[in-house]
């Protein structure tokens, strides 16, 4: 059964990138060109809305949101 958090994150990333998301959850979304630094605030805002959380400014680091698996780890650390 697919992980619901992963599927929700994939949906958020796809909405922001307006492109299909790589299947590999470890793939860098920035290095692959799917996202760029200008998309980071939009991505974080969408994650905040989807998961009803507030991401502090100190966490606005592309490394934390570089891949689906890193986003999952970030969300797990906030739980």
pLDDT in tens, 25-78: 999 999 999 999 899 999 999 999 999 999 999 999 999 999 999 999 999 998
Question: Rounded to an integer, what distance in angstroms lies between the CA atom of residue 22 and that of residue 44?
Answer: 19
Question: Helix, strand, or coil here: 13?
Answer: helix
> How confident is the model at residue 26, as a pLDDT?
97
> How confident is the model at residue 36, as a pLDDT?
92
Reported as a single tens digit per residue, the pLDDT across 4-33 is: 999 999 999 999 999 999 999 999 999 999
Return all residues near 47 (Cβ < 8 A) that are at least 6 apart. Answer: 9, 12, 53, 55, 65, 71, 75
Summarize the chain as % helix, strand, coil (round to 5). 55, 0, 45
> How confident is the model at residue 2, as a pLDDT?
66
Q: What domains lie within the chain, and their CATH numbers? A: 4-19+26-78 (1.10.1200.10)
Tell me what the pLDDT averaged over the chain comes to: 94
């Amino acid at each position: 059964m697919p992980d619901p958090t992963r599927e929700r994150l994939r949906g958020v990333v796809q909405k922001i990138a307006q492109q299909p998301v790589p299947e590999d959850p470890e793939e860098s979304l920035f290095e692959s060109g799917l996202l760029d630094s200008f998309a980071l605030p939009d991505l974080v805002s969408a994650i905040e809305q989807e998961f009803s959380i507030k991401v502090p400014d100190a966490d606005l680091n592309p490394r934390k949101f570089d891949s689906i698996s890193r986003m999952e780890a970030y969300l797990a650390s906030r739980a």
